[in-house]
């Protein structure tokens, strides 16, 4: 009788910021100007639920009106841009984020200085279906009128207390500081859904979830204080991490990495991973999940099951 040896499967991906390779997505070659994307997580990676990319739009650039068969969540890393959806035209700046539901027509315009944003897509776009992107107008998109010309309504800046921007939010580095969660700070928050989760030197602030309208994914900001640690664990969903500031020691599938600002990592279902902050300053990263976590058992910490094993061995004769 032959014995099958265990197979070690890598369920993760790490990409350095210096590896960035921006290009015009095939579907947008004739329907955009000054738009480029670095597709980091997709069909050619271990992911099956997640599409994750970084996008850039030049000043004065544009992306024609289109729809997706996936949910899209965006986070403005720097710069400014106008995003038009069926709910209106919104002016996004660094720190703004929002949810674009499945099938909602939308278009982009680059403002002076251009813009760069993170793009989370779930379910994962499929190349064999032209990236699951469709254009309501069959003719090639035309450059929209210059700013100030032919405008029906002014772009609305993101204001979490304004119900017109209910699909959007804003986050600053200061929002992650525990000692700044005072009443005057909370007054600019849409609701208690933005309250901090704090544990073991780790701070988490939810951004996009069911309350904001997301159904297929989540997006949130994570901060580790010096010596902050999360022990080995895995999930019944996929996660992607974009390091925003600082550095972190990360382990995926038993492989160790020092990740810096601009680096991106992905952990699939069953990928045991852990994090620790080796520096004397905080580290922050943007994190996404797909599908959305279940109500219970979204974390499987190795230490909990090691504890059970020790209890069982103590009772053994």
Confidence of residue 116 (pLDDT cuts 50, 70, 90): very high
pLDDT 10s digits, 39-61: 999 999 999 999 999 999 999 99
Do the domains spanning 20-165 and 174-315 agree at the CATH topology level? Answer: yes
Average pLDDT, the chain: 89
pLDDT 10s digits, 201-251: 899 999 999 989 999 999 999 999 998 999 999 999 999 999 999 999 999
Q: In the structure encoding, which two tokens stand for residue 98, read together? A: 């929002």
Q: Check residue 148 and give left, alpha or beta (phi > 0: left; psi -120 to 50: alpha).
A: left
User: What contacts 115, CB < 8 A, 6 or more positions away?
Assistant: 56, 57, 76, 78, 79, 80, 81, 92
Q: Which residue has the tokens 């919104």?
A: 90
CA atoms within 13 A on the CB side of 266: 25
Pairing of strands 247-252, 273-276: antiparallel
Separation between Cα atoms, residue 166 and residue 163, nearest integer Å: 5
What pLDDT is attached to residue 174? 87
Could you tell me the residue ranges of all domains in the chain? 20-165, 174-315
* 181 φ/ψ angles, rounded to the nearest 5 degrees: -90, 50
Report CA Rg, the chain. 21
Please choose, from the candidates 160, 28, 155, the residue with its C-alpha nearest in 3D space to the C-alpha of residue 97: 160
Separation between Cα atoms, residue 112 and residue 99, nearest integer Å: 24
**Predicted structure pTM score:** 0.90
DSSP single-letter state for residue 281: S
Confidence of residue 18 (pLDDT cuts 50, 70, 90): very high
Separation between Cα atoms, residue 277 and residue 229, nearest integer Å: 7
CATH no. of 174-315: 2.60.120.10
In the chain, DSSP finds a helix count (H) and a strand count (E) of: 2, 21
What pLDDT is attached to residue 7? 43
Separation between Cα atoms, residue 277 and residue 281, nearest integer Å: 8
Q: In the structure encoding, which two tokens stand for residue 143, read together? A: 């450059």
Give, for 300, the enclosing helix (H) or strand (E): strand 300-301
Report CA torsion sign: 41, 141, 145, 89: negative
Domain with residues 20-165, CATH architecture:
Sandwich (2.60)
């Amino acid at each position: 009788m032959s014995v099958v040896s265990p197979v070690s499967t890598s369920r993760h991906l790490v990409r350095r910021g210096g590896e960035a390779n921006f290009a015009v997505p095939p579907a947008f070659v004739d329907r955009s100007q000054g738009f480029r994307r670095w597709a980091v997580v997709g069909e050619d990676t271990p992911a099956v639920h997640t599409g994750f990319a970084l996008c850039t739009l030049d000043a004065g650039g544009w992306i024609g009106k289109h729809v997706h068969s996936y949910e899209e969540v965006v986070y403005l890393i720097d710069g400014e841009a106008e995003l038009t959806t069926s709910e209106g035209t919104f002016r996004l700046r660094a720190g703004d984020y929002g949810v674009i539901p499945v099938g909602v027509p939308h278009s982009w315009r680059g403002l002076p200085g251009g813009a760069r944003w993170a793009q989370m897509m779930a379910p994962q776009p499929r190349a064999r279906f032209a990236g699951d992107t469709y254009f309501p107008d069959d003719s090639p998109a035309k450059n929209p009128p210059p700013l100030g010309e032919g405008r029906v309504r002014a772009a609305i800046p993101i204001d979490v207390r304004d119900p017109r921007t209910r699909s959007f939010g804003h986050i600053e580095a200061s929002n992650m500081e525990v000692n700044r969660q005072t009443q005057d700070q909370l007054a600019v928050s849409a609701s208690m859904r933005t309250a901090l989760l704090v544990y073991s030197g780790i701070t988490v602030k939810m951004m996009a979830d069911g309350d904001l309208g997301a159904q297929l994914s989540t997006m949130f900001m994570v901060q580790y204080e010096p010596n902050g640690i999360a022990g080995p664990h895995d999930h019944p969903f996929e996660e992607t991490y974009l390091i925003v500031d600082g550095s972190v020691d990360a382990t995926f599938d038993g492989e160790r990495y020092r990740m810096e600002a601009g680096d991106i990592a992905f952990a699939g279902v069953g990928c045991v991973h852990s994090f620790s902050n080796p520096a004397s300053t905080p580290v922050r990263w943007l994190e996404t999940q797909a599908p959305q976590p279940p109500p219970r058992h979204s974390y499987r910490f190795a230490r909990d099951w090691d504890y059970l094993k020790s209890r069982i061995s103590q009772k053994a004769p």
